[in-house]
Structure 1
Amino acid sequence: MKKNMIFKGLILGVLFFLGTSNIFAQEINGTSNESINNYDQKFRLGFGLNAGPAIGDYFNLALGGDVRLQYDLTQRTSLTLTTGYTHLFSEEDYIDDLGYIPVKAGFKAFVLEDNFYVLGEVGAGFAVTNDYNETTFIWAPGVGYANEYIDLSVRYEGMNDFKTDQVALRLAYGFKL
């Protein structure tokens, strides 16, 4: 348990360092703060598929889909709202699979070039399968690559009350609204 908490703290620390190292620079790739302040804010919408291993005692695989609404604050920072459905597959016959709907809000910051970013999200996961009647706190740091239409990322998603976590690879298609 102590190793798990150290691992989570290390991930958050690295993501925080990466996220803040280039955001506050005076000039970003030849773009002055004046042109960033005059940026035309906009919404983006993305549809993603998620897959990866579940880390814990009861589940071994997680598959899901999501919808992410993103509001660009500047050219390099955005607020996000993500929901969808994730299915955790049980590794034991005596434990049922778990399906849940995550609802997360987050902050996304591009840190390298215009394509690489870090993302941190927090929210809740609502169990929707018959045998589970729980809601859990979710926290999800991640890193990714995005261009105008494609978003490829990997994230760690911690779920306290479901007694499992996951590492998910996300492939998404996004567009401006």
Structure 2
Amino acid sequence: MKTKFKLVAFAIAMLFAGNVNAQDTTTENYDQGFRLGFGINAGYVFDDPYDFALGADARLQYDLSKRTSLTLTTGFTNLFIGDDVKDLGFIPVKAGFKGFIWEDQFYLLGEVGAGFAVTNDYDQTTLILAPGIGYANKYIDLSLRYEYYGDFPKANGGEGVGQLALRLAYGFRL
């Protein structure tokens, strides 16, 4: 867990460093502002007993510049188990940094936060680490990310569940 956290922290730091040097100097008067997006998520969960994940989210984004943004994401995600076992649903709350790396449309995103379990008589809160890549234009945001839930249980009695999720969102400037 500590090694994965260090790798994610290093990746986020490199993202910051890369964007500091790659700033477009022609955007001095860029109109900073907020964007709001609503998305749906579908994911493949790597660990048993979970079969797949579905969720919905809302993301508030503050554009620092034309190429860098801060994000705050929340919503609801359900990890489906199947059979007669209750699913695990939780509310993620994540803060992140988005850096556009190519043509002001392709980006890298790093998020960290917490997941608050709300179903299945399970009350554990988990750390969430979520690096991702994506494409965004004026209204559509399509991304692929890996999410790691450090404290959710596995079938073998261990902890730490990962998923690969696809997000499709509609966003607009506030």
TM-score, structure 1 as length reference:
0.84
User: Aligned partners of 1:159 and 1:79: how far apart in 2?
Assistant: 21
Amino acid at match of 1:173: Y
The yes-or-no answer on 1:43 pairing with 2:34 is: yes
The yes-or-no answer on 1:166 pairing with 2:163 is: yes
Aligned to 2:73: 82
The yes-or-no answer on 1:125 pairing with 2:115 is: yes
Answer yes or no: is the 8 Å Cα contact 2:95–2:111 preserved in 1: yes
Change (3 A) 1:115 1:59: same
Deviation per CA, 1:27-60: give whole Å up to 9, x if none: 64xxx2xx43432210000000000111112101
**Shift of residue 154, structure 1, vs aligned partner:** 0.4
Aligned to 1:156: 146
**Shift of residue 65, structure 1, vs aligned partner:** 0.3
Percent of pairs with identical residues: 59
User: Aligned partners of 2:148 and 2:31: how far apart in 1?
Assistant: 34
RMSD over aligned CA atoms reads: 2.3
Aligned to 1:24: 20
Displaced runs of 4+ in structure 1, greater than 4 A?
4-17
Answer yes or no: is the 8 Å Cα contact 1:48–1:65 preserved in 2: yes
User: Aligned partners of 1:26 and 1:108: how far apart in 2?
Assistant: 14
Answer yes or no: is the 8 Å Cα contact 1:96–1:131 preserved in 2: no
TM-score, structure 2 as length reference:
0.85
Amino acid at match of 1:170: R
User: Aligned partners of 1:26 and 1:53: how far apart in 2?
Assistant: 34
